[in-house]
Amino acid sequence: MRALILVGGYGTRLRPLTLSCPKPLVEFANKPMIIHQIEALKQAGCTEVVLAINYQPEVMMGFIEEWQEKLGVKIVCSQEKEPMGTAGPLALARETLDDGKGTPFFVLNSDVICDYPLKDMLDFHKARGAEATILVTKVDDPTKYGVVVMDEYGQVQRFVEKPKEFVGDKINAGIYVCSPSILKRIELRPTSIEREVFPHVAADNLLYAYTLNGYWMDVGQPKDYLKGLHLYLDSMAIRQSSALAHGPGISGNVLVDPTAKIGEGCLIGPDVSISAGCVIGNGVRLSHCVVMRGVHIKDHTKVDLSIIGWDSRVGAWSRMENHCVLGEDVQCKDELYLNGAVVLPHKEIKESVPSPAIIL
Ligand code: GDD
Ligand code: MG
């Protein structure tokens, strides 16, 4: 089986992290977001994954070389000359996606995190004779998503992208199974699967929805990314508790890369991920935060609800809280208070940021 992951989009809502690398390569729980998806696709029987990209191809190529081997899945790039939206990339990769035997393929948004019930979705898709099956989940605020209205068999009656008025609270989770016949509906031009394809498939009674049982989050913006980490680690505690950190100084769900070094007398957790090569000083307090590859945090510093980008340095006796996001290689002096500071890559921070601000 084959799959296409929609990797394009500039990831503006995840800046400043996406100033250093494309959104799907931003680490989530210590590995690039997209790796969670490729691993799940492999488990569901996919042997070839198409990455639909529209910018930074050189970064993507390096990534593919490294992971293709590690994962044992063929990964190919389908490069757009201009952003093709969420449906155009399917037309561009038509040759790869349509095997001529009617075999369905998966399509994934690259920024969604869940337990990926791909096999169950595929069985459901076949049993319903669907042209497309959408994974749906329930959210409190449906306005920023695509809303799906369906009957008790899962047949979709309406699909409304980013509705202004309340339509329902079941939303498109950004994961689809499609039969190759859907490709006939998609022209080779920038076009949206949500606005220009799904409503027509629904009108032909060929669009179905499979309801997700479990957590889900679009981690394409910092607040949701941190919420997503909480949900992911909660699920990991049930499925794979041995992969989480245990012992004195660890409180709640914490993921620590084996190459990270943690000092004496720290208190870490809940909902913290510490990636490869990090060095955490003595007496450090970390909660609800992401510490990306190569970060150093000096002694007696407290970090809460924040994301620290690759290779950044946080000084001693400091405090960071309230959705700070440090880009790559940010250098912070000692004894600073950072409240909701969003800092661009390669900056040096010498003074406190007492209220939320973007540091250019
Ligand atoms: N290749 C390519 N080219 N990919 C693109 C392009 C493009 O021009 N534009 C967007 N994408 C990719 C993004 O990288 C992302 O993986 C996916 O398409 C969806 O784009 P987002 O920008 O993240 O959309 P959204 O979050 O506002 O809404 C989408 O996801 C929601 C679930 O998280 C829609 O599919 C909604 O219906 C859905 O509810
Ligand atoms: Mg998104």
Interval between CA 298 and ligand 2 midpoint (Å): 34
- Element spanning 61, H or E: helix 57-71
- Read off the pLDDT band of 65 (50, 70, 90): confident
* CA separation, residue 297 to residues 135, 139, 152, 204 (Å): 40, 36, 52, 57
Q: What is the mean pLDDT of the chain?
A: 94
pTM of the model: 0.91
Average pLDDT for residues 130-142, to the nearest whole number? 95
**Could you give the count of Cα atoms lying within 13 Å of 336 in the half-sphere of its Cβ?**
24
At residue 22, does pLDDT exceed 90? Answer: no
At 63 the pLDDT is 82
At residue 319, does pLDDT exceed 80? Answer: yes
At residue 55, does pLDDT exceed 80? Answer: no
Interval between CA 168 and ligand 1 midpoint (Å): 20
Interval between CA 335 and ligand 1 midpoint (Å): 40
At residue 108, does pLDDT exceed 90? Answer: yes
Residue of 7, 81, 86 best suited for mutating to test ligand 1, as the one with most atoms within 8 Å of CB: 86
- Read off the pLDDT band of 180 (50, 70, 90): very high
Place of tokens 């909902």: 271
Whether 148 lines ligand 1, by a CB cut-off of 6 Å, is no
Tell me the ligand closest to 221's alpha carbon: 2
Q: What pLDDT, in 10s, does the model give residues 212-224? A: 999 999 988 999 9
How does strand 170-178 pair with strand 105-109?
antiparallel
At 8 the pLDDT is 81
At 13 the pLDDT is 85
For the chain, give the percent of residues with pLDDT over 90.
84
Average pLDDT for residues 266-289, to the nearest whole number? 97
Of 253, 238, 338, nearest to 287 by C-alpha is 253
Residue of 14, 78, 111 best suited for mutating to test ligand 1, as the one with most atoms within 8 Å of CB: 111
Interval between CA 106 and ligand 2 midpoint (Å): 17
At residue 57, does pLDDT exceed 80? Answer: no
Whether 54 lines ligand 1, by a CB cut-off of 6 Å, is yes
Let me know if 182 is exposed, middle or buried by CB neighbors in 10 A (0-12, 13-18, 19+): buried
For the chain, give the percent of residues with pLDDT over 70.
99
Average pLDDT for residues 247-276, to the nearest whole number? 96
The total of other beta-carbon atoms located within 10 Å of residue 324's CB is: 27
Of 111, 150, 145, 115, nearest to 133 by C-alpha is 150
